[in-house]
Amino acid sequence: MPRFTLIVCLPVLLLAAPVRAAEPPSGNTTAPTPAAPPPDLYDIGKSLFDAYAPPEVKAQYEFVSREQFDGLVGGLQKAFATGSFDELAAYEQQVKDTIAALRLAPGNEDYADWLAARLDDIEAAKEAAKPPPPPVPGVPVPPPPAAPGVPLYDLWLRRLKGRPVPANAAAYMPGLKAAFIAQGLPAAFAWLAEVESSLNPKARSPAGARGLYQLMPETARLLGLSTFLPDDRTDPYKSARASAQLLRRLREHFGSWPLALAAYNAGEGRIDRALEKGHATTYAEIAGTLPAETRLYVPKVLATLALREGVDPSGLPAPGRIPAAP
């Protein structure tokens, strides 16, 4: 196969399924209103497949229908929103294959980086779902390091320890930290960008979130950002300022960083309702009722801050006074 044809065809394996491919994981394919993929991705992929896929590839693969593709995207999002860790872990191989295909051609980095961050969560969910090993007689079990009231924090410390800093962190982090300091927040929270987007300013999700801090369009507009020509969410520092404003407001509302981070991920209303329904006041009390994505997100952020900045997550101060403009 000519090299050009190979490069063009490989990304659309994301959309092309083997003729005898296995069904997606059970229970995750019937989301009532699955989120649509990026508007043009399906049509572009099908056009490339029709135009460039050689006969031998077309003999082994058939291009999935839009309904099947939307179902896969919706199924994955449903697993994050309402599924168990086991259901989420069942998508591991599909997501790995998709990332590999996306990485092999230019122009797909934005989707690949977003999906790579989700793969990290899926692998953590798989680990969290495993039963703990039985204790060895006579050997004391040391208490795991933990931020008070944050389940799975120790799991993320193990996973993230030794992970290299993203290559572009040196270029971006000084300005990102300045944006959070300008809102009276600890500078360490600028590392939210690593968790949200792998520090790719153009990262985007099928649900419509975009940028370093993965702001949804409506949220971005409420925070004063343009989302159309230009999309300010792809500006690292405008996105950081908006994210810091949102996080400050959530921390002031909930009174704790774990609850503020949960609301950043799942929405303020959802956390308010969970606290009210459970007659609760802390993140630990409601963690088990939250989406799988949020239960993984909160400890991942705090472990990232601990490892990148050497801070104790339980000692992070409340928002301070916003510095006066120079």
Tell me the C-alpha to C-alpha distance, in Å, between residue 248 and each of 182, 211, 316, 317: 11, 19, 13, 12
Residue 148's pLDDT is 63
- Let me know if residue 71 belongs to a domain: yes
Domain with residue 258: its CATH number is: 1.10.530.10
- 11 in the same domain as 113: yes
Over residues 173-230, the pLDDT tens digits come to 999 999 999 999 999 999 999 999 889 898 888 778 899 999 999 999 999 999 988 8
Tell me the C-alpha to C-alpha distance, in Å, between residue 126 and each of 15, 24, 129, 151: 25, 17, 5, 15
N-to-C CA span, the chain: 61
Would you say 299 and 91 are in contact if contact means Cβ atoms under 8 Å apart? no
The mean pLDDT of 74-87, rounded to a whole number, is: 88
Q: What pTM value is reported for the model?
A: 0.78
Place of tokens 């290559």: 167
The mean pLDDT of 223-240, rounded to a whole number, is: 93
- Let me know if residue 144 belongs to a domain: no
Tell me the C-alpha to C-alpha distance, in Å, between residue 202 and each of 96, 103, 208, 212, 284: 21, 15, 12, 7, 33
* Sign of the four-CA dihedral 270, 272, 274, 276: negative
The mean pLDDT of 62-73, rounded to a whole number, is: 65
Count of structural domains within the chain: 2
The mean pLDDT of 146-163, rounded to a whole number, is: 87
| DSSP-derived secondary structure letter, 288 | G
- 92 in the same domain as 13: yes
The mean pLDDT of 239-260, rounded to a whole number, is: 97
Domain, as residue range, for 117: 3-129
- Let me know if residue 325 belongs to a domain: no
| DSSP-derived secondary structure letter, 234 | G
Residue 283's pLDDT is 96
- 212 in the same domain as 259: yes
- Let me know if residue 219 belongs to a domain: yes
Over residues 105-146, the pLDDT tens digits come to 666 677 777 788 889 999 999 999 988 777 777 777 666 555
Q: Collapsing DSSP states into helix, strand and coil, what is residue 2?
A: coil
Residue 44's pLDDT is 59
